[in-house]
Structure 1
């Protein structure tokens, strides 16, 4: 199994603005988010995972257990309910909000991970590429 833990830097995005619009992120927040290249730190202690996302403007952190629902506050103040699972070299975070269901699949390799984000209602798919630092 590929190592999930580490620090990763975003270096490329595809259809990110369209995806953020579909899940209801306001225009100003969307523009700030798509203009930044976040760093994601993933760690695990016992059976709890933590994903910390940092940009020049803000930092968020979520700690969760696989298979258990947890709440995440998005930029702009909206809350979503998530459940995370791990299978092989993929971590999948399934989300539910007032804008419908979405999913983030992080497929890990030795070099980093590719995050594929799908919005169920609109079928919009965005892809983010992260390299291990």
Structure 2
């Protein structure tokens, strides 16, 4: 395991969402329709985070039928599918030895940043559409 992946080991495991703030506004700014937004804001997805060498894989499952997975290159970039099903460039950066920052570029929303940090044993996730300055935050507990 590389130095950076060792620092990320604390993120590994299964995390269930326990609260969210601003998600409806974030999804609306993303162009997601009312029905899908209501489904997304009512469910508590489970994220599975795995570190393997220099790869970070984040998988999610919501309400048993919505699921997906992307693998990121720690300290580098990779092509992934975003939540709008667009192929984008995703850079994965470790900041301050305790934050995972994913920077997605090339989609219809412009630059989107997703920051993950662990505080008080909980995983805090902030999603931001940079050009629109719209932010959603979610908190996950270990599941």
- Alignment partner, residue 32 of structure 2: 25
Question: More relative contact order in 1 or in 2 (CA 8 Å, sep 6+)?
Answer: 1
Q: How many angstroms apart in 2 are the aligned matches of 1:28 and 1:84?
A: 31
Note the residue ranges of structure 2 that are not aligned, 5 or more in a row: 1-6
C-alpha separation in 2, matches of 1:17 and 1:79: 23
Deviations 1:40-91 (A, max 9, x none): 01011121111010112221111121211322242x5444432111121110
| 2:72 aligned with 1:69 | no
Taking the aligned partners of 2:89 and 2:34, their CA distance within structure 1 comes to 22
Are residues 1:36 and 2:43 paired? yes
Conserved in 2, the CA contact under 8 Å of 1:24 and 1:99? no
Q: Verify: 1:108 aligned to 2:118, yes or no.
A: yes
Count of aligned positions: 132
Partner SS state of residue 69, structure 1: strand
Partner of 2:141: helix, strand, or coil?
A: strand
Query: 1:23, 1:100 within 8 Å by CA — same for their partners in 2?
Result: no
SS at structure 2 position matched to 1:103? strand
Aligned mates of 1:81, 1:26 — CA distance in 2: 24
Choose between structure 1 and 2: higher helix proportion.
Answer: 2
Aligned to 1:55: 62
Q: Offset of 1:110 from its aligned partner? A: 5.7
Structure 1 runs not aligned, ≥5 long: none
